[in-house]
Amino acid sequence: MKTPLDKSLTELATALRAGQTTAKELTEACVANRDATEDLNAYKTWTPDFARQCAGLADDAFKAGIDLGALQGIPVSVKDLYGVQGIETFAGTHKALPQDWQTEGEVIESIRQQLGVVTGKTHTVELAFGGLGVNSHWGTPRNPWDAVNHRVPGGSSAGAGVSLQQGSALVALGTDTAGSVRIPASMTGTVGLKTSVERWSTSGIVPLSTTLDTAGVLARTVEDVAYSFAAIDPFIDSTSEEFLSEIQSFPASAITIGIVHEEVWDDCSAGVTESIQETLKECEQAGVILKDIDLPECTDAIDMLAKGSVAAAECDEFIEAVLPAWRDCLDPLVSTRIRDGDQLSAREYLTRLRWFDDTAIKANTRFKDCDVIASPTVCITPPRLYEVSELDGYRANNMLALRNTCIANFLGLCAITIPAGLDQTGMPVGLQLMARHGDEEHLLAIALAVENIIGTSSQRLGKPPMVAWKK
């Protein structure tokens, strides 16, 4: 028998409106789950009393017959980059940021106006500048899939996927500049959507790169991500239920998945390639067409990652202009890479901006023979924390973690990661699907069709060991 938190968001929305459950009950279940797995350290600021207040408002509205949106009464964790009035923003740094960064931007305003339940601020890598999830100021969340070793959860939205797996939230807000939604989703066995640049406003979010930053969402299933996306997205007029109905009938036989054979398959940990190949084979057996395609811009994007994009320069400028007093206290794992941006000439900075525009135009033409392009989301198993505590080990693993996800950011695409299996160490493997800029609806329809073929994360992977034995 399903507990309330085992239900889909659609089922919960129906139950809330029918009086079969309450926002308070959902919130208390989330609080109990977090208390039982507190050592996972998902949150920088855990706010159960604030969540209870949000739940009370949602329940009062339901009782009065007031329905303010699809996320009313739904527990949502928020990355510690988003301003939320009354909850300090640290952005992973050593102290709270100035008051301006508590200002709520459009994404948070949407959730608050719908009376969503904010459970707290989840950990982020300092200033979101890293793909592994490491934070020396406040501790690195534990990946719940390894009960013996402290493995990283992926970053920079480090606590987002952990909050979902421990059951302290049903939706998690993150940001994605080079993979910061998809990497933690992949490494924790959840689903993560990177939206197209400018699809969602980044107002009220501490910036890493004004050029590349995107807001995104994680959830336990593709269906829940699609439900949340429709609830937040400013361009969708239909309700979340109507949107799901619109995209659920996409037949497998109408889908063509493009497969590239550039560097995305290199240096994969044991079991990663095998998991992705098995997933794609299952899709093909269900009627999906697999097609080899050329995406030479993949190589260009990976080369750009290696030499440094514009993120370091833009982050360096932000620190100098807004947080100069923070500079001397930055984690060396972050500060040494930010300093790279200080060495970028104005001409080279503008050259790279032009490269992004030109390369995105080319890459978006590669979809004429396929609907989406597939790859492993992350090619490596989540490293153990001690392996990435020093700069050399950190740099090598960070580059590999970001390598495949940065492609979508640098080529101006939207992308999603779906749990595909477990590698040989028992850690989750994600399948990345990339689509044209602004084509989130089509991407979600295809991702949902794939999920219907291979099963949800809990069906395919089971429960993480650090959660299963404490429930």
Strand partners, 290: 257
Instruction: Return the H-helix or E-strand segment holding 42.
Output: none
Q: Is 79 a catalytic residue?
A: yes
Residue 222 corresponds to which tokens in the numbers above? 């593709």
228 given a catalytic annotation: no
Evaluate whether 131 touches 180 at the Cβ level (below 8 Å): yes
List Cβ<8 Å contacts ≥24 apart for 353-359.
353/211, 353/310, 355/300, 355/304, 356/211, 356/212, 356/310, 356/410, 356/412, 359/297, 359/300, 359/301, 359/410, 359/411, 359/412
Query: What are the b/e assignments for 330-347, b being 16+ CB within 10 Å?
Result: bbebbbebbeebeebeee
Are 151 and 111 within 8 A, CB to CB? Answer: no
Residue 216 to residue 341: CA distance in whole angstroms: 25
Residue 70 has what DSSP assignment? T
Phi, psi angle pair for 105, to nearest 5° = -85, -170
Q: Report how many helices (DSSP H) and strands (DSSP E) the chain contains, helices first.
A: 18, 11
Give the DSSP H/E element, type plus range, for residue 416.
Answer: strand 414-422
Active-site residue identified among 79, 168, 309, 457? 79
What is the Cα gyration radius of the chain? 20
Q: Which of 269, 92, 299 is nearest to 180 (CA)?
A: 92
d(CA 182, CA 175): 9
Check 110, 180, 228, 457 and give the catalytic one.
180
Could you tell me whether strands 256-259 and 372-376 are parallel, antiparallel, or unpaired per DSSP bridges? parallel
Catalytic residue among 8, 156, 186, 335: 156
Residue 156 among the catalytic residues = yes
Q: Do residues 215 and 200 lie in contact, with contact meaning Cβ atoms separated by under 8 Å? A: yes
The H-assigned helical ranges of 135-257 are 160-166, 182-188, 222-232, 240-247
| Helical ranges in 125-239 per DSSP H | 160-166, 182-188, 222-232
Max Cα-Cα span within the chain: 62
Catalytic positions: 79, 156, 180
